[in-house]
Amino acid sequence: MLKFILRRISVSALVLLGASLLMFILTVNSGDPLKDLRESNDPNRDALIAERTERMRLNDTDWERYWDWLSGVGGCFTGNCDLGVTINGIDVVGLTQQAAASTLRLVTLATLLAIVVGVALGILTAIRQYSGFDYTVTFSAFLFFSLPVFWAATLLKEFAAIRYNNWIAEGQYAPQTIVIVAAVAGFLLQAVLGGTGKRRLVTAATVFAFVMVVLFVFNALDWWRDPMFGIGGVLVVSAAAGVLVTVLVAGIRNRRALYAALTTSVVGVAAYWFTAPLLVGQPSWPLLAGLFVVAVGVSLAIGAAWGGYARKQAMIVTGITGVITSILVVADVLIAHWAGFLGIKSRPISTIGSQTPNFTGDFWERTLDVGTQILLPTILLTLVSVATHSRYTRSSMLETLNQDYVRTARSKGLSEREVIVKHAFRNALIPITTIVAFDFAGLIGGAIITEQVFGWKGMGALFQDGLAAVDPAPVMAFFLVTGIAAVLMNLLADLAYAALDPRIRR
């Protein structure tokens, strides 16, 4: 395996070297970096031209300039990284760090959401092939995949930001809106769950009544402007998540895994009770990271203690339940600060930038500000990626479900959950891994339009500004980040193959 990894890294390095040379030559010959100065009436024009010529080494050959850039990149291996300066003399390393942090924050979140939602939808549509749910998801996937990014971004800005900001000033749903929302929710859920006509009707009616009651209660409590969830809500949702994870991973009959999941929920909520003063009074990212690590460790310990003969499955169940509980705790604290956030920022959903300039507020309110800024571009990138993941997952699952070993598993009397999760899904993941790996690297480069529409100063802006100014330094920095991301994700995909299919290891 070590030889394989080293061989892949060597080949990838050669590919990056050749691609970087091509990118550099194309960039420096795409225009005149002195055009704006040649057309200027500034009395110091000649001095400015001479200064820029010296800074960008325009009198040197393309090969000499490329070698100079490559030497600076080589210095990164010794801790002396030099990616040059921009056309205005700004250090590119600092710009790249800021841009990469902004873009990776956006792309990582969108990729994780797309994987979870897309794979889940792909599995469900494969299991319920040619059903109404399958046709609905298929139509939606092709619709989202075909939408022009800039047009979808404009729709999001109009309906999810501008109109929402107008509505949140009152924070009340009209009665007719509640009826429509409840009817749509009932229709969608009965389509997802399926069944006989009578069962569909009961499902739709139950969901319709439940959503109606909840929305009217929320209106009465002014919940949309001053929401509350509370420790009780965290416990209920965490326990429900634990039961669901148990059903999917170990089966509801595995009582040890079920009790371990419920114990994890109770312990997590009890820990929230004791750490709440710390979370509210002295919050920080290192504190949250430390508490998260402790929470996962305790969750795994609970799984090991309860597990017995099913220790591995119990630890997986409690680990996932612990992560979900931790997310719920953070969400509850954020919800509690929403009213204060609205007091500072009356129009919460922003359409431009990655954060509000000169924003004043405590730790959680600043976190809400960053979260609302990242919301719309994340939704956009997630919708585009979900379409791809769901279609590939569906196709891979359908192919796997028709294999002989799946029929054998069913004939042996295994439950449908075991057939789907343990036999079909694991083997269906192999081709999906490739799509996920390349999608992450592709999103970094493909987020250029999204970043431009939403005013994000990320890798897209760095690339666009450099290309417009015929400035190779920022363009090559963009190439370096996206190229390395593609190589690393491709290598991780190969390693994932070996973990999913033992035959590949040989």
pLDDT at 473: 92
Please compute the mean of the pLDDT values over residues 86-112 and round it to a whole number: 87
Buried b vs exposed e over 121-132: b needs ≥16 C-beta within 10 Å?
bbbbbbbbeeee
Of the pLDDT bands very low, low, confident and very high (cuts 50, 70, 90), residue 506 is low
Is 354 strand, coil or helix? coil
pLDDT at 107: 84
Q: Helix 132-146 and helix 363-401: axis angle, to 10°?
A: 120
Report the 10 Å Cβ neighbour count for 146: 9
pLDDT in tens, 233-259: 999 999 999 999 998 888 888 899 999
- Provide the percentage of residues in the chain whose pLDDT is more than 70: 97
pLDDT in tens, 169-206: 989 999 999 999 999 999 888 877 777 888 889 999 99
CA 61 to chain centre: 43
pLDDT in tens, 207-228: 999 999 999 999 999 999 999 8
Inform me whether the pLDDT recorded for 500 exceeds 80. no
pLDDT at 350: 86
Residue with tokens 């992450």: 440
Q: What is the mean pLDDT of the chain?
A: 88
pTM: 0.83
Q: 170 — phi, psi (to 5°)?
A: -100, -40
With contact defined as beta carbons under 8 Å apart, do 156 and 379 qualify? yes
Cα separation, 86 vs 94, whole angstroms: 11
Is 200 strand, coil or helix? helix
Cα separation, 140 vs 501, whole angstroms: 32
Residue with tokens 């795994």: 300
With contact defined as beta carbons under 8 Å apart, do 182 and 208 qualify? yes
pLDDT at 215: 95
pLDDT at 487: 82
Please compute the mean of the pLDDT values over residues 140-159 and round it to a whole number: 87
Q: Which two tokens stand for residue 251?
A: 């089966």
Greater pLDDT, 328 or 76:
328
